[in-house]
Amino acid sequence: MPTPLSPKKRLYEHFARVAKAMASPGRLELMETLAQGERGVEALAHATGMSTANTSHHLQTLRDAGLVVSRKEGLQVIYRLSDEQIPAVLAGIRHVAERQSAEVERIVRDNFDRRDDMTPVKREELLKLVRAGKAIVLDVRPEEEFQAGHIEGALNVPVDKLPRLLSKLPKNQEIVAYCRGPYCLFAMEAVEQLRKKGYRARRLEEGYPEWQASRLPVKKGA
């Protein structure tokens, strides 16, 4: 008879199962999208650019591994992340890849650092700026994501609506824009638009999921 696995090895088998479920670009993107708030399959497919069938398959894998849970709302199945610490796990993967992969470092440098040479605002700095009345926070994600949860005190101006609402933003304060995460281009596009119109603007170093995972002040609804 084979020797029974030790409790430690049995645990590592389960850990590996969870890690294997995450080992897919599509599933990583789905988890980042769900970190903005719960959604149905079609909305997730639209947000990630995947087919509905492919999205459903990935969600099933994530659910089998305990990474997402679902509920029925009429005929629709709504998904959400199963644990509030999942964004922190995703951030950990990102940090290691940025430090240890030359290709990741090159992609970040060519597509983010060179496009915006100003140092992004860190979470702690943003808190100080807001408390001192020196900055306003702009959430440039779609309205439904803002409603699901946002940085407390942030204004929601989706990036596609920003040109029409620029005149309503004050020029005597710095504007800090954020979106879905550190690689979401919405914030960068918003900052570029603002600077062209004479505003002092920077982007938050990370996004809403990382802010929430750090247990900083958030709010749901309008």
Q: What is the mean pLDDT of the chain?
A: 93
For the segment 129-152, what is each residue's pLDDT rounded down to a tens digit? 999 999 999 999 999 999 999 999
pLDDT value for 162 = 94
pLDDT value for 111 = 84
Domain boundaries defined on the chain: 7-83, 117-219
Active site residues: 179
Bridge partners, 72 (sequence order): 77
Is residue 221's pLDDT more than 90?
A: no
DSSP summary character for residue 204:
B
pLDDT value for 117 = 77
- Here the tokens at position 166 are 């620029």
Is residue 11's pLDDT more than 90?
A: yes
- Residue 5 banded pLDDT, cuts 50, 70, 90: confident
Distance CA 134, CA 66 (A): 42
pLDDT value for 154 = 96
- Residue 36 banded pLDDT, cuts 50, 70, 90: very high
Is residue 27's pLDDT more than 90?
A: yes
Q: What is the mean pLDDT of residues 93-119?
A: 88
Is the domain defined by 117-219 classed in CATH 3.40.250.10? yes
**pTM score, two decimals?**
0.84
CB 27 within 8 A of CB 62: yes
CB 27 within 8 A of CB 64: no
Q: State percent of the chain over pLDDT 70.
A: 100
Alpha helix ranges (H) inside 175-217: 185-196, 208-213
pLDDT value for 119 = 84
- Residue 116 banded pLDDT, cuts 50, 70, 90: confident
Distance CA 50, CA 105 (A): 26
Topology (CATH level 3) of domain 7-83 = Arc Repressor Mutant, subunit A (1.10.10)
